Amino acid sequence: MQRKTHATWVIALSLFIGFLLAIVPFPDWAMNYRPEWIPMVLIYWAMALPYRIGIGWAFVVGLLLDILEGSILGVNALALVIIAYITLSLHQRLRMFSTVQQAGLVFALVGLNLMVCHWLLIITDQTVPSNLMFLMAALTSALIWPSLFQLLRHSRRSFDVR
Amino acid sequence: MALEYRALAFILLAVCIMFADNRFDYLDKVRYGLGFATTPVYWVADIPTRVSFWIDDVFVSRTDLLEENAQLREELLLAQRELQLMESLARENSRLLQLQEASAVINGEVLPAEIINVSPDPFSKRVLVNKGAREGVFVGQPLLDANGLMGQVDEVLPFTSWVLLITDSHHVTPVEVNRNGERALARGSRTTAAELELEFVTQTQDMKAGDLLVSSGMGQVYPKNYPVAEIISVFADPGQSFSTVRARPLAQLDSTRHVMLVFEDKDSEAQSAVEEAISLSAEDMPPATAPQAEAADSNSVPQVEDQ
């Protein structure tokens, strides 16, 4: 089944804003509580348009995020590919979930993303093992998910992204 | 089924890329290219700061400007007076050094830059400055602010570059105590605090709280005699072989925006002759100490070929 693509710029713009929010500096105490915007935006698009936004997108977006964050290439790419894979294989169930259930799954996925990135950075000697406070970002992400979901769904419907 | 294979293929690709990027430098070109794609993001992220600076500039009263102007004039006068003194001292110093056939103090050119972003990882202390390969920035280039040494360039992108700060736990700065010339290695703190820890300081070494640490010029990354940090505490536990010395960097690592990149000016003949002699004698000897600032060895001679 061949579908015509439409309004790719909405997806690109949402990712661009996600990149912006990912690198905007915060005060030191708030660094651990920053929501992980890019994984959340990717989860949404993979869930809504699984035939368009797949593992390839996740990989490229991950590479760009690696450059933006200045970490070695491939760290975020690998983590986002894993997330995209899980989202794609669950997307039909995910659409039936209530908002709270979705937020729970987002919590797990973002937490997985953070863990994978942290491990990879430790393996490649880019950072030092620390306490688990960095996982707080998964909590804030889950709290923000319902509003982000509404916003992205609204823009998807009003711009007719297919 | 196809989804699993695709995921697996991309994961393997990511692992290969990570390995290649970590171990070899094949991917520097790729990073450089992707740097073009990500520049607009930094540019947009920096807009709020620029707007607030612009508003500060535009909405400022005439009396404020006059006052500031008078104050700056006064400061300039004082600074010029000190500079005159400094110049005669510097000349005298270089005469004395010439008598001893030592290399002269490096007078570098500086390139003003601005910090436009900081690393999102709280455990890696890196900042992004708005000058890149276009302006001739090179890996290993020292970065200063008005008060002291900040760090060295770690990665050069087309219009921006990442700077590793001296407080990063992967960074070691060769320093000496200004008062008596005692040498030490200052490693960035392993905690999130913006502090330095002096490594391998024996309990008999003469260091005390309040001492100024300046760069010693060893490791050939940083020029000599730039102020680096001030010792805040020295703790000598008789049961340990080394004392615990903590120091606070003088540069305003987390509040300043205006910084300088230093281009070393190495054209004086006497100096290059001395350097040649040093490099000749260095060939006979093994490298002096093992832990030096990382990525220093390959970049000891600044290369500005990229432009």
Q: pLDDT at position B44, please?
A: 86
Question: Nearest chain B Cα to A90, which residue?
Answer: B3
First-residue to last-residue Cα distance in chain A: 14
Looking at the 3D structure of chain A, how many domains does it have? 1
What DSSP string runs through A78-94?
Answer: HHHHHHHHHHHHHHHHH
Which uninterrupted H or E stretch holds B187? strand B183-188
Q: Which residues of chain A have pLDDT under 50?
A: 1-2
Say if residues B205 and B169 touch (Cβ distance below 8 Å).
Answer: no
Quote the minimal CA–CA distance from A106 to chain B in Å.
19
Quote the minimal CA–CA distance from A118 to chain B in Å.
10
Q: Which domains does chain B have, with CATH numbers?
A: 2-56 (no CATH), 109-264+290-296 (2.40.10.340)
Residue A137 domain boundaries = 33-152
Please tell me what DSSP assigns to residue A32: G
Please tell me what DSSP assigns to residue B290: S
Quote the minimal CA–CA distance from A160 to chain B in Å.
26
Question: Nearest chain B Cα to A24, which residue?
Answer: B45
Q: Chain B partners of A88 at a C-beta cutoff of 8 Å? A: 3
Q: pLDDT at position B293, please?
A: 41
Q: pLDDT at position B86, please?
A: 85
Q: What tokens appear for B225 in the block?
A: 């005699």
Query: What is the C-alpha separation between B151 and B128, in angstroms, rounded?
Result: 11
User: Does the pLDDT value for residue B264 go beyond 80?
Assistant: no
What ipTM is given for this predicted complex?
0.84
Asked if A81's CB is within 8 angstroms of B14's CB, the reply is yes
Asked if A34's CB is within 8 angstroms of B11's CB, the reply is no
pTM (two decimals): 0.68
Say if residues A130 and B123 touch (Cβ distance below 8 Å).
Answer: yes
Burial of A104 by CB count in 10 Å (0-12 exposed, 13-18 middle, 19+ buried)? middle
Q: Does residue A56 lie within any of the structural domains? A: yes
Q: Does residue A88 lie within any of the structural domains? A: yes
Q: Does residue A26 lie within any of the structural domains? A: no
- Confidence category of residue B1, pLDDT binned at 50, 70, 90: low
Query: What is the C-alpha separation between B196 and B182, in angstroms, rounded?
Result: 16
Model confidence over A122-150: pLDDT tens digits? 888 777 777 788 888 899 999 999 999 99
